[in-house]
């Protein structure tokens, strides 16, 4: 354990979760602060995680017929103003370009906080007939929202994301796409990121500016706070009417299109850190990890050790492997691999080689396992599968143990006074109750979970007959 | 040929090359204009080409040790001003953000036209010792330059690119990386894009703002105009001194780092259009093409035709294939496939099926070939290889036939009066000659080609003893 000192210690999670998070982000070299207030550098170790997430999601999108495009990063003020709710929602937090090429601009340009208006402008140009539908486009880009308080990956003035925007001939088709993409996010989060999620619908108060309905996947962090991890919006024909996006249907009648949008952001990296991390640093699920296996040669100057490490790497070439043959001590290398969250460490030294084995150490639970070198690829594949599954199960058990139920406002307040987590509580449907809960407890409605939308009983706030079941929580 | 009318005709290349280019971009649905002046939408067919180029280049970069990162899109004015030549070069064409979150900014932010200053700011934070070197980072992002005249892909106010930025312990290592990345671009352009290039060095007049040396790959378009297709810059320690990027070397002495940067942009799509395209539209090299093969069933309502087309697609699943089984006429489908530049069309109808064959039509030269269905995968692989090679050879022959030599200013002016192309001409090294040539003929020095840097003879402009061989041309 003395070797641990060689990698600078991080604050313990229980002592100060916010500081623990900042320490992990910094010491695992995921990102760095910049001279640009509220903006960060995503460093190689952080960007490699984003590339893994992006490539996997992009593949899943394309399997559902999504095509990628790129639209301008600027939105003329006149265009942004076309949809009333939308402009009201975003105007307070945009950045304005007022000068270009040493000339003041007549119509100033906002740096896109989201691109609904630009996609509408585009679809208006290319959609004419039912034959041009559906349009199922997506872009990977950065957006800007002028946040006051920022935290790496969770909230920054510029962040990376994808935004899908679709246009359909019917309301039914738009609704089906909205739910389909929410399910893509949920499957991706659970299967790939090992993060269990609650799928549900946002209340009117919490929905997206301009949407008819917003669906969300909500995850619970280690500290019991909720993180909205992906959203999918059904716009109905509101934007189409505001922008005049019409098509001629099979009966030669002019109709408005029905639209959706859906997105996830670099917040996902924050979710992975806060769901899986521990007091030794980052813990990455094998499917996400840019490096899955770190081979650490023991007594590496002895004859044959580095050669055997290289042989092992070769045997494991179907995985993402590296050998740490630097001149650091093994203890330092262990601590570093743990800080960076590499799922599996393989130690191999002269004694192991003699015994025809190696030692595998799991990052998620610290278990050390002797593995015969025969059939090593198969054994490692199984081990990585187990880690992925166990990480999901552990996260799910943690979330379930932090999910409570409240029948009335006394219970509700009592729980949030003592604990942090999801609280399931029925709701009358009146925004006044949401406002009161937010004001008094800093708690928001996270979602109305699918499959339990309607409920009996009374509102957890006002005691009147309840209409909807709601997951409540403190959120990032 | 009557079917051709079914796809709207495009202007002939010889009649009006600029209009031909615009028509191809529009009719092949590569991009579209927007309400944002000088910015465009890259549509699915265009973006899919960019994804192919980006993924291939990214793979080649990573093979040389490059790591991807993401830096802010904003540069504070105070940061931009730290390197004198650099700020002078870019200040006239930047866009300024002056207001964020409904507050005026005290230090206004420029939208990045390039990120040298931000990378310097970052390297200053993370480079301390020789152990932290080299830093070999790259980012894929968009940049903004406030151009007055814009053309799709060739010049727009916002464009997509990659910018690599490296920091090294020695001048030699920085120079080696500068040349290495130029060679990556040259190989990529020739092998993947089938575009022959001239590699060389830019003159002082044409080099990048703040660089010690700029290297370039120059390609020749169908109309004889040159297109700078990729550049690689050696900064020496100029930026390091301006930003204070120092490290402790093995002898415990403080040293400045030596830096490079290198980039290619969505201009590459413009180059592919203008090198390979013809009067029927786009022509894509097989390695670039998002769809390599379009199978067109003939008399598709007849029994077994669609089944055989599906079988064929299955046989060719190692390629990027689609079947056009829409209810358009075969002639319309042919014209559409030609417009979109799909390298190979396979026609299959009842008679072909009976004869156990199909008909392959090459997009590049129009050749039609009967192919037996046995071993079809192998035959198609060979055919695609041939198309890729033949497209490169054809482009090279075209370029060589448009490359001239001039011994004196009379010859030089005569050539540019009659023709457009590369002109090889010796140069005295004096910028006054470059200025005169540019003013009188709108011709610029494209590069001093590698391997022929030094030359005998006299300057093609002033007649004094020559120092360097130069490729001259009219450029996009």
Output the pTM of the full model.
Answer: 0.96
Range(s) of chain B covered by CATH 3.30.930.10: 17-276
Q: Do A41 and B70 touch (CB under 8 A)?
A: yes
Nearest CA-CA distance, residue B399 and chain A, Å: 32
pLDDT over 50 (residue A437): yes
Contacts of A99 in chain B (CB under 8 A): 95-96, 98
Reduce the DSSP state of residue B458 to 3 states and report it.
strand
The pLDDT value given to residue B2: 44
Architecture of domain B403-473: 2-Layer Sandwich (3.30)
Q: Do A146 and B94 touch (CB under 8 A)?
A: no
The pLDDT value given to residue B143: 97
Q: Do A100 and B157 touch (CB under 8 A)?
A: yes
Contacts of B68 in chain A (CB under 8 A): 44, 47-48, 51
Q: Do A95 and B73 touch (CB under 8 A)?
A: no
The pLDDT value given to residue A312: 97
Reduce the DSSP state of residue B129 to 3 states and report it.
strand
The pLDDT value given to residue B468: 95
Task: Give B345's contacts (C-beta < 8 A, 6+ positions apart).
Answer: B293, B294, B295, B296, B334, B337, B360, B361, B363
Nearest CA-CA distance, residue A26 and chain B, Å: 11
Closest by CA position to B119, among listed B178, B167, B176: B167
Contacts of A125 in chain B (CB under 8 A): 32-33
Q: Do A99 and B96 touch (CB under 8 A)?
A: yes
The torsion region of residue B399 among left (phi > 0), alpha (psi -120 to 50) and beta comes to alpha
Q: What is the mean pLDDT of residues B142-169?
A: 96
- Provide the number of CB pairs (under 8 Å) joining chain A to chain B: 156
Sign of the C-alpha dihedral, residues B206, B207, B212, B213? Answer: negative
Q: Do B34 and A122 touch (CB under 8 A)?
A: yes
Task: Tell me how far apart the alpha carbons of residues B332 and B322 are, in angstroms, rounded to a whole number.
Answer: 16
Nearest CA-CA distance, residue A141 and chain B, Å: 8
Range(s) of chain B covered by CATH 3.30.110.30: 403-473
- Mutant choice from B51, B53, B72 vs A, greatest count of A C-beta within 10 A: B72
Tokens of B339: 């417009």
- CATH code that applies to domain B293-381: 3.40.50.800
Fold adopted by A8-276? BirA Bifunctional Protein; domain 2 (3.30.930)
Of A50, A67, A98, which is closest to B44 when you measure between CB atoms? A67
- Mutant choice from A70, A80, A138 vs B, greatest count of B C-beta within 10 A: A70
The pLDDT value given to residue B7: 59
Q: Do A67 and B48 touch (CB under 8 A)?
A: yes
Task: Tell me how far apart the alpha carbons of residues B197 and B230 are, in angstroms, rounded to a whole number.
Answer: 10
Nearest CA-CA distance, residue A471 and chain B, Å: 31
Nearest CA-CA distance, residue A304 and chain B, Å: 27
Q: Do A142 and B144 touch (CB under 8 A)?
A: no
Task: Tell me how far apart the alpha carbons of residues A258 and B439 are, in angstroms, rounded to a whole number.
Answer: 55
Contacts of A119 in chain B (CB under 8 A): none
Q: Do A146 and B111 touch (CB under 8 A)?
A: no
| Mean pLDDT over the full length of chain A | 95
Please write the tens of the pLDDT for every residue from B215-225: 999 999 999 99
Fold adopted by B17-276? BirA Bifunctional Protein; domain 2 (3.30.930)
Of B44, B75, B101, which is closest to A137 when you measure between CB atoms? B44
The pLDDT value given to residue A452: 74
Task: Tell me how far apart the alpha carbons of residues B178 and A126 are, in angstroms, rounded to a whole number.
Answer: 43
Please write the tens of the pLDDT for every residue from B325-362: 998 999 999 999 999 999 999 999 999 999 999 999 99
- CATH code that applies to domain A293-399: 3.40.50.800
Task: Tell me how far apart the alpha carbons of residues A329 and A226 are, in angstroms, rounded to a whole number.
Answer: 39
Tokens of B365: 């030269």
Band (A190; pLDDT cuts 50, 70, 90): very high
Range(s) of chain A covered by CATH 3.40.50.800: 293-399
Q: What is the ipTM of this complex?
A: 0.95
Task: Give A301's contacts (C-beta < 8 A, 6+ positions apart).
Answer: none
Q: Do B148 and A101 touch (CB under 8 A)?
A: yes
The pLDDT value given to residue B342: 98
Q: Do A67 and B73 touch (CB under 8 A)?
A: no
Q: What is the mean pLDDT of residues B89-113?
A: 94
Range(s) of chain B covered by CATH 3.40.50.800: 293-381
Q: What is the mean pLDDT of residues A428-442?
A: 97
Q: Do B70 and A118 touch (CB under 8 A)?
A: no
Contacts of B28 in chain A (CB under 8 A): none
Contacts of A32 in chain B (CB under 8 A): 122, 125-126
Task: Tell me how far apart the alpha carbons of residues B356 and B142 are, in angstroms, rounded to a whole number.
Answer: 50
Band (B1; pLDDT cuts 50, 70, 90): very low
Task: Tell me how far apart the alpha carbons of residues A140 and A180 are, in angstroms, rounded to a whole number.
Answer: 19
Please write the tens of the pLDDT for every residue from A157-177: 999 999 999 999 999 999 999
- Give the helix ranges, DSSP H, for A91-139: 116-126
Range with the lowest mean pLDDT among B2-16, B108-122, B211-225? B2-16
The pLDDT value given to residue A411: 97
Reduce the DSSP state of residue A187 to 3 states and report it.
helix
Please write the tens of the pLDDT for every residue from A306-345: 999 999 999 999 999 999 999 899 999 999 999 999 999 9
Q: Do A75 and B47 touch (CB under 8 A)?
A: no
Q: How far is CA A172 from CA A212, A360, B348, in A?
A: 13, 52, 38
Please write the tens of the pLDDT for every residue from B368-424: 999 999 999 999 999 999 999 999 999 999 999 999 999 999 999 999 999 999 999
Of A98, A137, A147, which is closest to B98 when you measure between CB atoms? A98
């Amino acid at each position: 354990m003395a070797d641990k000192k060689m990698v600078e210690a991080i604050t313990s999670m229980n002592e100060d979760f916010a500081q623990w998070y900042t320490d992990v982000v910094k010491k695992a070299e995921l990102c760095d602060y910049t001279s640009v207030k509220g903006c960060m550098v995503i460093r190689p170790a952080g960007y490699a995680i984003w590339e893994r997430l992006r490539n996997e999601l992009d593949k899943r999108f394309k399997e559902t017929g999504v095509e990628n495009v790129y639209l301008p990063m600027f939105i003329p003020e006149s265009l942004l103003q076309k949809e009333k709710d939308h402009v009201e929602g975003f105007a307070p937090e945009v950045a304005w370009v007022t000068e270009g090429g040493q000339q003041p601009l007549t119509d100033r340009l906002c740096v896109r906080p989201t691109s609904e208006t630009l996609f509408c402008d585009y679809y208006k140009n290319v959609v004419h007939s039912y034959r041009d539908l559906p349009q199922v486009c997506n872009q990977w880009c950065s957006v800007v929202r002028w946040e006051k308080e920022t935290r790496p990956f969770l909230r920054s003035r510029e962040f990376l994301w994808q935004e899908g925007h679709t246009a359909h001939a019917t309301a039914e088709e738009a609704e089906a796409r909205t739910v389909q993409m929410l399910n893509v996010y949920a499957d991706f989060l659970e299967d790939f990121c090992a993060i269990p999620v609650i799928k549900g619908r946002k209340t009117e108060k919490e929905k997206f500016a301009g949407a008819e309905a917003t669906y969300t996947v909500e995850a619970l962090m280690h500290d019991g706070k909720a993180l909205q991890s992906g959203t999918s919006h059904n716009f109905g024909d509101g934007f189409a009417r505001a922008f005049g996006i019409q098509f001629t249907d099979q009966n030669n009648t002019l109709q408005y299109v029905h639209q959706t949008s859906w997105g996830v952001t670099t917040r996902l990296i924050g979710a992975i850190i806060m769901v899986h991390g521990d007091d030794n640093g980052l813990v990455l699920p094998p499917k996400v990890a840019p490096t899955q296996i770190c081979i650490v040669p023991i007594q590496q100057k002895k004859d044959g050790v580095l050669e055997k490490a290289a042989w092992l790497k070769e045997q494991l070439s179907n995985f993402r492997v590296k050998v740490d043959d630097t001149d650091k001590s093994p203890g330092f290398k262990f601590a570093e691999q743990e800080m960076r969250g590499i799922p599996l460490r393989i130690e191999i030294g002269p004694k192991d080689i003699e015994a025809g084995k190696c030692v595998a150490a799991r990052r998620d639970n610290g278990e050390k396992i002797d593995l015969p070198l025969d059939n090593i690829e198969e054994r490692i594949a199984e081990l990585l599968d187990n880690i992925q599954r166990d990480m999901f199960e552990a996260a799910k058990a943690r979330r379930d143990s932090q999910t409570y139920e409240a029948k009335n406002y006394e219970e509700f307040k009592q729980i949030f006074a003592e604990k942090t987590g999801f609280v399931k509580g029925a709701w009358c449907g009146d925004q006044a109750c949401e406002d009161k809960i937010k004001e008094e407890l800093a708690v928001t409605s996270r979602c109305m979970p699918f499959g339990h939308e309607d409920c009996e009983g009374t509102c957890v706030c006002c005691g009147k007959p309840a209409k909807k079941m709601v997951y409540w929580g403190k959120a990032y």
